[in-house]
Amino acid sequence: MHSKVIAFYLQKINSTASYSQVQIINSYTEDMEDELIIEAMNIALKNNKRNIKYIQGILENWLNSGITTVEKYRKGVTQNGRDKPIERNLKKGYGTKI
């Protein structure tokens, strides 16, 4: 197991994680850099989404896009601003009958 990734998950995301949750996080270390997995967890923290499914979604999107290193991730962020939370512009009265 990659202790750095697991330690971060247990300290910052879920201190009472089940064995299967730890295994899920650890499984990504075969294909991705530890620092990149930690970055995904940091994004989850920034967006106040401390759950395994959210982190899995980030990691799966990156894998599907061929992002497996921090360097590749940073290139994508500078081009697309992907690590920023989604901001929604709602106009006053949007979605309500006037």
Domain containing residue 41: 3-80
> How confident is the prediction for the chain on average, in pLDDT?
85
Q: What's the Cα-to-Cα distance from 16 to each of 7, 13, 28, 51, 86, rounded to whole Å?
A: 12, 9, 20, 12, 29
In this predicted structure, the answer to whether residue 97 has a pLDDT above a threshold of 80 is no
Q: Where are the alpha helices (DSSP H) in the chain?
A: 3-8, 19-27, 34-46, 52-64, 70-80
Confidence band, pLDDT 50/70/90 cuts, at residue 1? low
Domain count, the chain: 1
Identify whether 76 is part of a domain. yes
Decide if 32 is inside a domain: yes
42: domain CATH number? 1.10.10.630
Question: Do the Cβ atoms of 58 and 43 come closer than 8 Å?
Answer: yes
